[in-house]
Structures are given as C-alpha cells and as structure tokens.
Amino acid sequence: MGASVQQSFIWLPAGLLPLPLPLPLPLPPPLLLKGSMTFHKGPSQRSPPPPGYPPARQLKRWPVTWQSVKPEPPGKFVIQVFKDFQQPFTGRYPTSHRIYSMPVPQEPLRRVAVTGGTHGNEMCGVYLARHWLQAPGELQQPSFSAVPVLANPAAAAVCRRHIGCDLNRSFTKALLTASPTPDEPYEVTRARELNQLLGPKNSSQAFDFVLDLHNTTANMNTCFIVNETDLFAMHLCHRLQLQNSESPSWILVYQPPESETFSLDSVSKHGMTIEIGPQPQGVLQAKLFYRMRSLVASTLDLIELFNQGTAFPAFEMEIYRLLEYMEFPRTEEGDLAGMVHPQIQDQDFKPLQPGTPIFQMFSGKDVLYEGDSTVYPVFINEAAYYEKNIAFMKTEKLTVSVPALPVLTPSPAH
Amino acid sequence: MTEKPIKKIAIFGGTHGNELTGVSLVKHWLQDGTEIQRTGLEVKPFITNPRAVKKCMRYIDCDLNRVFDLENLGKKISEDLPYEVRRAQEINHLFGPKDSKGSYDIIFDLHNTTSNMGCTLILEDSKNDFLIQMFHYIKTYLAPLPCYVYLIEHPSHKYATTRSIARYPVGIEVGPQPQGVLRADILDQMRKMIKHALDFIYHFNEGKEFPPCTIEAYKIMEKVDFPRNENGEIIAIIHPNLQDQDWKPLYPGDPVFVTLDGKTIPLGGDCTVYPVFVNEAAYYEKKEAFAKTTKLTLSAKSIHSSFH
Ligand SMILES: [Zn+2]
C-alpha cells in the first residue's frame, strides 16, 4: 500500500525556534547554608512499608518508607542541608524528625548530560537526542557543553518502551555491580554502560548533572520529577516552573527519600527528569517537542547562571509526593473489568476527594474512591503502567521551604 | 430494492492488539453479550489477534489487517508463515471463506487511532446501498456527536482487511486514543456506534423500509509521507496547525510540516484536501504522516428486507 506519495513541497524560510532567555530573578541577599527544608504535611494516612526494597519490575505498591515520621500539627519535619559531607546540623526540631543529608555543588557543574529515549517510544526525547547527536551546538554554554545521549538505542530503533526490562528502573546497586551474564536483559547491560559513561553512581567521577527526557500519555502537562533531597535540582525546577508560567507545570517527588534510587538520572551527582504529556507512545507532536526543547535550553541556562556565581535564594514551593499506586479492577482471568472513570481522566494533579468515582466498570457500575483524605492523582491512565497494573498514582500536596544554594565564587577570583 | 435479511454478524476486536477499545468491548461481550443480542440475529464477538492482544502490540509478525488477500489466504500452512497469515487463514475458515456464500453477512472490525478522528465508519465500496443506509442511520442516531465516513475505495490501494471476508465489511475507528490506553469516553462512543448498527439491522430484518438517503463521505486520494533525509530519517514533523485537524479543510499554502530547525513546509498543489490519520502512531513505519481525502456525497436507494 501507499505507492504514490507526493513530496512537491516548497521549503520556506521561517523563524527559528523560540528559545527562552534566562529569566533574571530579583535577588535577595544570598543566604548561607545550614538552612532547613520544612514540609507542611497534610493529615494523610499511609500503609506500613514492606520490608526491604523489591526489584522495580516486581513492584506492586510503592514502599512508603518516610511515613515513620509522625505528622505533628502543623506537621513539620526537616531536611538538613550542609556543606560537603559533614555532620548534619540537627536544628530546633526533635530527633524523631527525619534528617536528610545531601551535598550541594561547591564547584561549577561542567559535566552535564541530556538523555533521551530512555524509553524508546517516548518520542520527544528520542528525536531531540538524535538531533543533538548530529548538531550538538544547541547544548553548548560558556562554562560547559552538555553531552547528548540516546539512552536506549535498541528500544528506540524498534519504537518500544524497552527490549527486556525497564531501563529507568535498572540503576540499582545490585544490577550495576552484578557480573554480566549472556542471558541478562539488554537494559541491564545498557545500564552498566551508561553507568560507566555518566557515573559511576555515587562516585566522585560521576557526571555533575543528568537531565532525562520522558513523555507520558497522561495529561500531566510539564512535570519535573526530582529527588527531594537534591537541593540543586529543586532550585532548577522551581525556576523552570516560574519561567514556564504560560502552561501548567508541576513538581513531582517520586522517590522515597531513604529508598535506593534506580532511575537513570540517579547515576550522576544531581539530576532531574522532565515528563511531558499527553502524547501517545510512538507519536511526535510538534508543540510538545518545542516545549521540551525550550525546557532543556532553559535548564542549561540556569546551570550556566549557577556556574557564573548567580545567587539562588531560598523559596517556598508546592510539590506533589508519591504515596501509593491505585490498581485497575480486573476479572478473575486477569482481564480489565473496568477503566479509569471519565470524571478523573485527564485530571492529573487535581484534588481527588473521597467518594469521587475513579473507575467505570464495563457493566456500567462506578467504583468510588474510598480513601479518607484528599489526594492528587498523577500518571492517570499512562499506557506504560498497564503492565504494572497501575491505573494512577496517588500523591499528597506539600509546601516546602527550600534554602538558598551556596553562591559560587567566579573562577578568576580564586 | 430488496435485500436478503441478515443472519450472521461478527464483531472483531484486537485485530491490532494495542487498540484497547475493541479488545475490551469484545472481551466484555464474550463474558456478557446481552447488549449485543438482537432477536433473530446471531452476533459473535471475537478476538482476532489474541497473541498481539496478550503482548499489547499492534501485531506479532505482520499487520493482520493487510493479509486477507487471496494469495495469503491460499498459502500452504507451514511453520514459516508469519503468525498473522496463519491466523488470517483460521479467521477466513471460521467467518468466510472470502467471496463465498457461506461467509458471514456483516463483520464489524473495531479499531482505534491516535489521530483526532472522532467516530469514523470505514466503507470499502461506494455503491453499497445497504451500508450507506446503515451509516446514514448510525450518523442520525449519534448526532449531535459527529460521525465521519471514510471511503477507502481506490484503484491502486488495496487493503485486504480482516473484515473483507464478510459480504458487508464495516470498519469502525475511534480516536484519539494512545496505543495501550483505554479511555472511557472513546469506549462509550464505540459502544454507541455498535448499538445503533445492530438496531439498524434489527429494524431492517423486521421489514422496515429505509427511504433513499445521502451521506457525506471522505474518499482517500493519496498518502503523504514525512519529509526524510537520504538515510530515510524523518526530518520534519506534523505542523502544530495541522495536528488534531482531521476532517478539516486544508488549503494550498497551509502549513503541513515543520522541520526540526523550525522551517514550515506548506501544502503544495492547487486543491483543498481533507486530511485524515494525521500523526497516527502506527503509520510512522508505513511512511504515512497523513492521508489526503476529498469530500463527496454518496447516495443509496431505498432498501427493505426481502423477508417480508
Ligand atoms: Zn519514560
């Protein structure tokens, strides 16, 4: 089929892509470190964590490890920020509160990578990575040049999420340090290669920053996925959120703070994932492509600003933190018995009250949400999560106070 | 004109294993078929590509919806044959044989597209009074929800569709829905299309006379590939102005593609076209960015069943 194809088009010169300029923010006097990150918590209830941390592919429910923190009115706990790897400052909160330790950059970030095609059918990253591999000029900044990486070339070649297993769940210590075997999944081998290229994970030789590009079929607009202990990334996504004000953008914390990280952007010292949707798998939509490209440019601009000694002052922002998965209703044979209810379809990040219908059964019956508190669903009806039996993920909304970053002294001053 | 009453109907789902609306409806009807039963009719729901459904992929070896030509259907069975060709022969045995008296009267084949095509009925023969009457009925009862008729009658494009083994083949295509996703709104629309189609057949068998009618249809002209470089790599993508604009008029000079460097590529030629299957995921590998159609009016004579 499709024998006659017309290609008689005229090539018109047109404007170049609009790449946003770095947004100069009003700068209050720079705060020094030893600040605290305060979380105002809602009264949500969570189930106890399973022992240990199962391999990502067998994950059924999120292991919620941070709930040992007792919510106290108004419910606060502290993330300690400190220089280097010294003893954390315990602050004014009782020791029952969780204390996180995390490094902040003391030097300019010079080794930066932008990875696309980690999932081979998420086309914005696939096309951007391929484009930059041929024309990397767009990724150059005065103080560094970001390296483009097509993370899962085999999956991208056949336009599938993965070949053997999910690459973005394969950066665990166990998988990265296991001896290679001939029958291991392709992605496990590839994760080790990427760990060599961009890591090794948790080492001083690791890249300073990895920006990983994804698409979702869910209506999540622009979503920045960060590790809440990565103060540098928290600053970046806050600034990006301010710059990207014409379309909604959200900040999602996917990783429980004390669990082992497993995603590609965890091999570097700092990292972040940009998730843009809705876009079907295997489809490239121009608007989303441009938005992703602009966001990458803005991210690199912000890293450059930091490298040049720009202050990143303290701020407060809203984040959404993952609580647990909601599974699809299934028949005894394992087939779907219903689908995401039209009332919550496309309502990612909107409040979901107890009693709201969440599933519509094929019989016509509705299933209501039975929680006892308002949650914020995300990744609603994401294609890739059917095989994991996840209909959506519940999150809680929090306001966090994020302390300032240290201000780098411009290099010539040394 | 009089036509024989309809006896045997099949509803196919999962011809493409990652188009979940048909898969889910057919699986549901296999459990509880009450809503598709009509007095005097045998209505059989059927999963056509179970292995692709299980893996949630379009197909295992090749596109099942393109192999129902007499050559493939006549091939000697062997292990080397693609899975879908072997499966096509089984389906032809169960519901055909193609072009024979024993074949099913009507096959509805349920599909989804990632394109913004809404409810679409696919017609293979512009002279088929019975189907034009049926489509007219479905369109009338779906209103105000729009329902488009896509005519794929073309001298050089032969589809060899799964449904083509029936006397009356009907393609049903609803979108936009990503592959591997099931949306309640899309499922509801497809379910209504089937309901009205079965109601029409029931009334026809009852002896109701359907007066002459006309419908608007969009006939395929040609398929347009993405602009590519010497290595066959796509260098321009669907322009934002064209995305989701299926069935809307596209005039010469209107933007069609945009290169990765931001250059706009407009529609050439000198005639208005109506694009369909704009940015359909499954057609990247078929080298089809969209298809151009032309709008026309089809008319059908009055029909009634010969039974009464
Ligand atoms: Zn992804």
Residues A160-196 pLDDT 10s = 999 999 999 999 999 999 999 999 999 999 999 999 9
Q: What percent of chain B lies above the pLDDT cut of 70?
A: 98
Residues A133-156 pLDDT 10s = 999 999 999 999 999 999 999 999
Separation of A217 CA from ligand 1 center, angstroms? 10
Would you say residue A3 has pLDDT above 60? no
User: Are B181 and A335 a contacting pair at CB < 8 A?
Assistant: no
Would you say residue A100 has pLDDT above 60? no
- Give the C-alpha separation, A361 to A340, whole Å: 9
Q: How confident is residue B283, by pLDDT bands cut at 50, 70 and 90?
A: very high
ipTM score above 0.90: yes
Residue B100: predicted pLDDT: 84
Min distance A294 CA to chain B CA atoms (Å): 13
Residue A257: predicted pLDDT: 67
Residue A244: predicted pLDDT: 82
Beta carbon pairs, A and B, within 8 Å: 147
Question: Does B159 carry a binding-site annotation?
Answer: yes
- Give the C-alpha separation, A91 to B10, whole Å: 71
Question: Tokens 């965890």 sit at which residue?
Answer: A266
Residues A218-249 pLDDT 10s = 999 999 999 888 999 999 999 999 988 778 89
Contact residues on chain B for A387, CB-CB shorter than 8 A: 56
Q: Which segment, A90-104, A259-273, B144-158, is predicted with the most confidence on average?
A: A259-273
Contact residues on chain A for B263, CB-CB shorter than 8 A: 11-14
Minimum-distance CB partner of A8 among B27, B31, B268: B268
Comparing A83-97, B117-131, B158-172, B255-269, which segment has the lowest mean pLDDT? A83-97
Residue A80: predicted pLDDT: 32
β-pairing verdict for B290-300 and B236-238: unpaired
Q: What percent of chain A lies above the pLDDT cut of 70?
A: 74
Arithmetic mean of pLDDT, A332-352? 96
The side-by-side arrangement of strands in the sheet containing A338-340 is: A338-340, A357-361, A366-368
Q: What is the pTM of this model?
A: 0.85
Q: Which chain B residue's Cα is nearest to A6?
A: B224
Average pLDDT value over all residues in chain A: 78
Minimum-distance CB partner of B222 among A6, A285, A289: A6
Residue B306: predicted pLDDT: 82
Q: How confident is residue A15, by pLDDT bands cut at 50, 70 and 90?
A: very low
Separation of A370 CA from ligand 1 center, angstroms? 29
Among the listed residues A252, A279, A265, the one whose alpha carbon sits nearest the alpha carbon of residue A393 = A252
Question: Does B38 carry a binding-site annotation?
Answer: no
Cα A166 to its chain centre, rounded Å, is: 15
User: Are A1 and B159 a contacting pair at CB < 8 A?
Assistant: yes
Would you say residue A52 has pLDDT above 60? no
Residue A379: predicted pLDDT: 98
Contact residues on chain B for A386, CB-CB shorter than 8 A: 56, 180-181
User: Are A16 and B262 a contacting pair at CB < 8 A?
Assistant: yes
Q: How confident is residue A83, by pLDDT bands cut at 50, 70 and 90?
A: very low
Min distance B168 CA to chain A CA atoms (Å): 22
Chain A interface test: which of B72, B260, B276, B290 (most A C-beta within 10 Å):
B260
Min distance B184 CA to chain A CA atoms (Å): 6
- B97 prior amide bond cis, ω within 30: yes
Among the listed residues A223, A169, A171, the one whose alpha carbon sits nearest the alpha carbon of residue A194 = A171
Residue A246: predicted pLDDT: 78
Residues B45-91 pLDDT 10s = 999 999 999 999 999 999 999 999 989 999 998 889 999 999 999 99
User: Are A159 and B284 a contacting pair at CB < 8 A?
Assistant: yes
Q: What percent of chain B lies above the pLDDT cut of 90?
A: 88
Burial of B8 (0-12, 13-18, 19+ CB in 10 A): middle
Q: Which fold has domain A112-318?
A: Aminopeptidase (3.40.630)
Residue A174: predicted pLDDT: 92
Residue B308: predicted pLDDT: 53
Would you say residue A132 has pLDDT above 70? yes
Residue A102: predicted pLDDT: 63
Terminal CA-CA length for chain B: 13
Which ranges in chain B belong to alpha helices (H)?
A: 20-31, 50-55, 70-73, 83-95, 129-142, 184-206
- Give the C-alpha separation, B127 to A353, whole Å: 54
Q: How confident is residue A412, by pLDDT bands cut at 50, 70 and 90?
A: low
Minimum-distance CB partner of B66 among A1, A131, A386: A1
Q: Where are the domains of chain A?
A: 112-318
Arithmetic mean of pLDDT, A199-210? 95
Residue A411: predicted pLDDT: 59
Q: Quick check: B255 and B242 in contact, CB under 8 A?
A: yes
Q: Where are the domains of chain B?
A: 2-217+299-305
Would you say residue B204 has pLDDT above 60? yes
Class of domain B2-217+299-305: alpha beta
Contact residues on chain B for A342, CB-CB shorter than 8 A: 184-185, 188
Residue B159: predicted pLDDT: 75
